[in-house]
Amino acid sequence: MAVLQRRVGAIFGLFFVLLAVAAGRTLYLGVVRGSALRKAASDQQLTYETVPAPRGTITDRNGVDLAVSEPAQDISADPYLVTDPLEASKRLAPLLGRSQASVLEKLSERSGFVYLARALPAHAAQALLALNIAGVTGTPVMRRVYPRGTLAAQVLGALGTEGNGLSGLEYSENALLNGRSGQRRVVSDALGQPVSITETRREAPGRSLTLTLDANIQQRAEDVLEAVASDFAPKDATAIVMDPRSGAILALASWPQVNANDPGASPPEDMEDRAVGLDYEPGSTFKVVAISGALEAGLITPASTFDIPDEIEAGERTIHDDTEHPEETLTAAQILARSSNVGAITIAKLEGAERFNEWVHRYGFGRPTGVDLPGEEAGATLPLSEYSGSSMGNLPIGQGELVTPMQMASAYAAIANGGILRPPHIVGAIGGRPVPEPAGHRVITARTAAGLREMLEGVLGPEGTASEVSIPGYQLAGKTGTANKVDPETGEYSESKYVASFIGFAPASDPKLLCAVVVDEPSAGSIYGGTVAAPAFAQIMSFALPYLGIPPG
């Protein structure tokens, strides 16, 4: 009996000790550790999730989608939680569009977090997550998609992995296009299943951009440049189509083409928007600067005559016309039509260096045009103080200064627009609200502009440097350019590298459409603006003029 009582007492004592330990543990957890444990439980059951905001849509002037955002997911994994990396990689690889070896490498990393895919389309992400592979999760994001692929890729630009613009309009208009992410409060049960979801901050979509571009004209311009590349094998090429009355850009094409949905597949330089980023010597397209200045000053008229020899001395240089000829009498209009170097220099010398330099800057050369595109170069003009004895021999014929295609298009738009120079623009509306057209200012009188337009018609006439170019029913005006490039190794003008260009508008008497084509280093077939760039101008304009309903004239 005593033994039994001792055993009962021992058991009772043991239970008492255990009870005391349990009570002490409860007191410790409830009082000492209570705050930390309550926070841990809250962290496990309560989470805040980011709700991605759609980036603003970019459309053309007719509402055609050029850049849109779609739901997607970033797929990540915790390799420590993936129990069978080999089997998991086998199942994941087809849905990720990657090799099994590359997925297995990721899942085998000694890390608690790795990305398997960024911005995986929603349908693929849903199929992947339905595999229920432990350690593999998805985070909702928005995916940028360019429905027209290569169309205007350099204009639109590209995004980085974090969804911010890296180039093009995606970069320059990032603040407008980027929305504000939302947030939601998620309460989960002990098994991790959501039992309550509350929106704490609503996402705000980015603002949309409506461009002045026309997708159909843009496509035509890109197709024509592709054909130019096939025929003449240039280094690169660009084309600008503009309404000269408003400065609205209807097409801005670059070659080589880039797939906007996969810009990394092309060399980085191919993403450059050459219309604003290419600095080049313009050659004979620049001759309108000297001639318009002389017309405006009353020094010449289109009918003024000059005795033009085959060559002319300028300082220590002797400058020739493109083709050898005896001395001949040419009108100012014929000098421009035939693109006579000697004639253009003769007219420029009537003005003198100071007045010629004023006209260079009056047309906006040496500074950006102000177009609403990123990466615009200013070109380079020679300061008057640095003019030498030969400067008035090479500058008036477009050698010795650097311009951009956009600057040249803008200058010719002023001639087409009755003498008003205005900044080009490509953004037509933001969030559905029209953007006011940039204000312009007069650089030449309407009379001088009309005289220049008539003179530029001769370039496409029987004696002109683009005589083989025409569009039935439309009277065209424009100017060819063929300029030597400087060889960076020698510092001298190359005998094999040229820039061929043509800038023109129609109808000549009342221009409603302008097109500039610049082809950098054509290396097959021809190197001349009249045979490389002028036909491309005609092919683009022959589509765009009737497409826009511009009547013949």
- pLDDT (tens, 9 = 90+) of the chain, 553 residues, equals 555 555 555 566 555 555 555 555 555 445 555 455 455 444 445 666 666 778 999 999 999 999 999 999 999 999 998 989 999 999 999 999 999 999 999 999 988 899 999 989 999 999 999 999 998 988 888 899 999 999 999 999 999 888 899 999 999 999 999 977 666 665 655 544 455 566 667 767 889 999 999 999 999 999 999 999 999 999 999 999 999 999 999 999 999 999 999 998 999 999 999 999 999 999 999 999 999 999 999 999 999 999 999 889 887 888 888 888 889 999 999 999 999 999 999 999 999 999 999 999 999 999 999 999 999 999 999 999 999 989 999 999 999 999 999 999 999 999 999 999 999 999 999 999 999 999 999 999 999 999 999 999 999 999 999 999 999 999 999 999 999 998 888 888 888 899 999 999 999 999 999 999 999 999 999 999 999 999 999 999 999 999 999 999 8
Model confidence, pTM: 0.86
Q: Which two tokens stand for residue 377?
A: 């170069």
14 burial (CB, 10 Å; 0-12 / 13-18 / 19+) is exposed
Check: CB of residue 393 under 8 Å from CB of residue 312.
Answer: yes
For residue 198, how many other CB atoms are within 10 A of its CB?
10
Indicate the domain borders of the chain.
48-69+142-210, 215-547
Q: Which two tokens stand for residue 17?
A: 């000790």
Check: CB of residue 438 under 8 Å from CB of residue 370.
Answer: yes
Q: Which two tokens stand for residue 29?
A: 């957890």
Check: CB of residue 444 under 8 Å from CB of residue 419.
Answer: yes
Query: What string of DSSP letters covers 242-297?
Result: EETTTTEEEEEEEES---TT-GGGS-GGGGS-HHHH--B--GGGGHHHHHHHHHHT
Long-range contact pairs involving 334-338 (C-beta distance under 8 Å, separation at least 24): 334/458, 334/463, 335/291, 335/306, 335/308, 336/287, 336/288, 336/291, 336/455, 336/456, 336/458, 336/459, 336/479, 337/455, 337/458, 337/459, 337/461, 337/463, 337/464, 337/465, 338/463, 338/464, 338/465
Q: Which two tokens stand for residue 283?
A: 């050659």
pLDDT at 45: 58
Return d(Cα 515, Cα 113) in angstroms, integer: 53
Return d(Cα 510, Cα 439) in angstroms, integer: 20
CATH class of 215-547: alpha beta
Give pLDDT tens digits for 356-399. 999 999 999 999 999 999 999 999 999 999 999 899 999 999 99
Check: CB of residue 163 under 8 Å from CB of residue 234.
Answer: no
pLDDT at 455: 97
Q: Which two tokens stand for residue 126?
A: 């849903």
pLDDT at 382: 96
Tokens 């058991």, residue located: 11
Tokens 């208009």, residue located: 173
pLDDT at 179: 77
Return d(Cα 218, Cα 154) in angstroms, integer: 12
Domain covering 48-69+142-210 assigned CATH 3.90.1310.10 in the classification: yes
Three-class secondary structure of residue 211 per DSSP: strand
Which residue type is seen at 238?
T
Check: CB of residue 517 under 8 Å from CB of residue 501.
Answer: yes
Q: Which two tokens stand for residue 367?
A: 């500074």
pLDDT at 14: 57
